[in-house]
């Protein structure tokens, strides 16, 4: 995806682009490539691929939620900062929390935040299921980091309103979820399936709404979630 193709694709998403945002994005790309030589951040390093599979893909969240209306947003298992940092660049008024368990990635994220002069953004080094905050964030998201059953049990307790999972093909994972939804007191309010431009790979955005507070027994530890999914 060239920069011009990226700009055209964002128009279709209804996202405003400024020169400042583009400059921040290019600086982010440079830092990603530089740091990727020191620590393993991503296998995707060609600029056109990063713009498509990381930058544009991150912003497809706008397909299922008005990001201008969100005040508190958490990106769990953020890795190199996708989608959280990209969302922050284009929606600077959102308070964003980036959560990752690997300290090397945390250090990279801090450098990016400093170099891009981003504010109202924090980085937390933790596994999601070990976080003490509950119902703190309006939107909690994760980008294909684990099975749907495990992800929802980890993420729902953190959210006050919505959980959005960013997946590839999700049909199989969506089977046998009735008990999961009942236990976590949530419902699936939208499923947006689309093809990523140019390469036409499958993407699925699953948006869940909380119907009430989450039972304090969730999330369980990772071993329990993996051994006996809800």
Residue 145 reports pLDDT greater than 80? no
Residue 132 reports pLDDT greater than 90? no
Cite the beta strand spans of 45-150 per DSSP E. 72-76, 95-100, 121-125, 137-143
Tell me the pLDDT of the chain averaged across its residues. 95
- Residue 78 in contact with residue 41, Cβ under 8 Å? no
Place of tokens 């296998």: 43
- Residue 88 in contact with residue 153, Cβ under 8 Å? no
pLDDT grade for 159, boundaries at 50, 70 and 90: very high
Rounded to an integer, what distance in angstroms lies between the CA atom of residue 29 and that of residue 105? Answer: 15
pLDDT above 90 coverage of the chain, percent:
92
Peptide bond into 212 cis (omega under 30): no
pLDDT above 70 coverage of the chain, percent:
99
Residue 176 reports pLDDT greater than 90? no
- Residue 189 in contact with residue 221, Cβ under 8 Å? no
Rounded to an integer, what distance in angstroms lies between the CA atom of residue 176 and that of residue 146? Answer: 17
Could you give the domains of the chain?
3-227 (3.40.50.150)
∠ at Cα 223 (219, 228), nearest 5°? 75
Over residues 50-81, the pLDDT tens digits come to 999 999 999 999 999 999 999 999 999 999 99
Q: Looking at residues 100-112, what average pLDDT do you find?
A: 96
């Amino acid at each position: 995806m060239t920069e011009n193709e990226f700009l055209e694709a964002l128009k279709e998403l209804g996202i405003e682009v400024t020169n400042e945002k583009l400059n921040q994005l290019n600086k982010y790309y440079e830092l990603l490539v530089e740091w990727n030589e020191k620590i393993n951040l991503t296998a995707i390093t060609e600029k056109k691929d990063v713009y498509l599979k990381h930058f544009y893909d991150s912003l497809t969240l706008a397909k299922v939620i008005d990001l201008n209306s969100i005040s508190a947003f958490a990106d769990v298992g953020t890795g190199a900062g996708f989608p959280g940092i990209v969302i922050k660049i284009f929606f600077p008024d959102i308070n964003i929390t980036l959560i990752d368990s690997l300290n090397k990635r945390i250090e990279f994220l801090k450098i990016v935040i400093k170099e891009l002069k981003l504010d109202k953004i924090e980085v937390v080094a933790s596994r999601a299921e070990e976080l003490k905050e509950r119902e703190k964030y309006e939107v909690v998201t994760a980008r294909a980091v684990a099975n749907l059953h495990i992800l929802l049990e980890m993420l729902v307790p953190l959210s006050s309103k919505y959980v959005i999972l960013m997946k590839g093909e999700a049909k199989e994972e969506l089977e046998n979820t009735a008990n999961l939804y009942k236990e976590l007191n949530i419902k699936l309010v939208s499923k947006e399936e689309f093809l990523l431009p140019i390469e036409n790979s499958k993407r699925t955005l699953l948006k869940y709404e909380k119907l009430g507070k989450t039972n304090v027994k969730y999330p369980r530890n990772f071993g329990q979630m993996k051994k006996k999914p809800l």
